[in-house]
Amino acid sequence: MTATHQLDHAGLINLQRLVTVLITTHLARATEGRVDTITRLQHLEQAAWTTGADRQTLQVITSGRRLLGDASDLTPEVLKRQSARKPLADRSRYLGRP
């Protein structure tokens, strides 16, 4: 998805439903697959910011990430300052590393 694409209302509703299903599925499990889901949600949130998604869609994605344990700030201002070397998902928490 590029910055020139815009999601219509139905597309935003479908995106919100997808995120909700991803989150509820992974909350029912232990930690397996959460890192991948967090990474997917981070990419979805970046795409949502880039394409001008509505606040409700952004809130659904952000809340989902936080429910899975990701408290990173992915607002456009923070992303501009973020180092290219720093990974989006902090995987150490789920891999048992300090």
3-state SS assignment for residue 70: coil
Does 2 map to a domain? no
Does 3 map to a domain? no
Does 68 map to a domain? yes
Nearby residues of 42 by Cβ (< 8 Å), 6 or more positions away = 65, 70, 72, 74, 88, 89
Domain count, the chain: 1
Does 23 map to a domain? yes
- Predicted TM-score (pTM) of the model is 0.61
Does 14 map to a domain? yes
Segment 69-77 shows an average pLDDT of 81
- pLDDT tens readout for residues 40-49: 899 989 888 8
DSSP assignments along 10-48, one per residue: HHHHHHHHHHHHHHHHHHSS-STTHHHHHHHHHHHHHHH
Which range marks the domain in which residue 19 is found? 9-95
29 vs 91, more confident: 29
Residues present in the chain in total: 98
Does 87 map to a domain? yes
Does 4 map to a domain? no
What is the structure's pLDDT at 30?
A: 64
- pLDDT tens readout for residues 24-42: 887 777 666 778 888 889 9
